[in-house]
Amino acid sequence: MAEPSRPPLLDVRDLKTSLYTRRGVLPAVDRVSFALEPGETLALVGESGCGKTMTALSVIRLVPAPPGRIEHGRVLFRGDDLLARSPEEMRRIRGDRISMVFQEPMTSLDPVFTVGRQLIETVQAHRNVSHKEAWELSVGMLRKVRIPEPQRRMASYPHELSGGMRQRVMIGMALACSPDLLIADEPTTALDVTTQAQILELVKELREDLRMAVLLITHALGVVAEMADRVAVMYAGRIVEYAPVDTVFGNPRHPYTVGLLQSIPDLELTRERLSTIPGTVPSLLRPPPGCYFWPRCPLAGEICRDAQPPLAQVGQSHYAACWKAG
């Protein structure tokens, strides 16, 4: 842990989380490592089922316990291993130092309590303030997330708000205690395009304002381009490419990343067929011995089938897990 320069805000090392299902054990997060500097935004990208949400849940230790279990690894937050913390200590960190915003604003707020009540309880869970002070703080948060007539809105119920407004409330709640790290799991996927843009703008602004690091989970490359400083591409539970955002878009080295980028429809070319990556994600119940991407990879070779490539450096701050990427 003795680093010459200041340690990263979040340092995930060799994280392994498995799901114990009726049909077998699934390595949902398979030896994942990445780091986040204070104020930096890291995007975890990948298709559905690649393990990005599980990774996020593992960091904040909200993995659903009966089927899931964090087997291995270290999650160093400001040098402190979160996996070694007690449940009560974790509880105090959640919402205060690390906050998480989820994908579905429609169902992420308790429907039977007012927005104000839920905001106040967040504040009072972490700060020793009077009800009045908490109320003021909450109104302030609503104002910060650009909700019109914040005082009136305190008495609204979630179902009285639109999806975009609900997501703003969620963000407001998450940022109420000025956390160091915000984990955003597909924060805009469930919203329409216009609202998406607004929410992203809001997050960018607040991120600036609070000097907050963001771990952004998404499958939308457009969002990545707009928000992220660094990108970690995930496939079947592993990180296959890890680089600054410009590098990933400009010089992708892993065939999967290349494939992803190629499949973004180009609005200018009208006549070509949409490019896709052939095949499907493998079942992880019986993981293959070699590279998971091997069956679908255009560069596939003998070594790819037999041995799994480690995440190796292929450029400055640029890592890829591919035998053919060197």
With respect to other proteins, which residue has the nearer C-beta, 61 or 230? 61
With respect to other proteins, which residue has the nearer C-beta, 225 or 281? 281
Q: For residue 178, state whether it binds other proteins (rule: CB under 8 A).
A: no
| CA gap 326, 297 in Å, rounded | 16
- Residue 312 is inside which H or E element, if any? strand 312-315
Site string for other proteins, 86-125 (x = CB under 8 A): -----xxxxxx--xx-x-x--xxxxxxx-------xx--x
Q: For residue 220, state whether it binds other proteins (rule: CB under 8 A).
A: no
Q: For residue 26, state whether it binds other proteins (rule: CB under 8 A).
A: yes
201 CB contacts (<8 Å, ≥6 apart)? none
Q: Between residue 286 and residue 315, which ones bind other proteins under the rule CB under 8 A?
A: 286, 288, 294-296
The closest of 173, 101, 109, 91 to 137, measured between CA atoms, is 173
Q: For residue 67, state whether it binds other proteins (rule: CB under 8 A).
A: yes
Strand order in the sheet with 213-218: 98-101, 181-185, 213-218, 41-45, 230-235, 238-244, 318-320, 312-315
For CA atoms 35, 123, 105, 204, the dihedral sign is negative
With respect to other proteins, which residue has the nearer C-beta, 5 or 48? 48
Residue 43 pairs in a beta bridge with 216, 231
Q: Which residues are at the interface with other proteins (CB under 8 A)? A: 19, 21-23, 26, 28, 48-51, 53-54, 57, 60, 62, 64, 66-68, 91-96, 99-100, 102, 104, 107-113, 121-122, 125-126, 157, 159-160, 170, 173-174, 236, 279-286, 288, 294-296
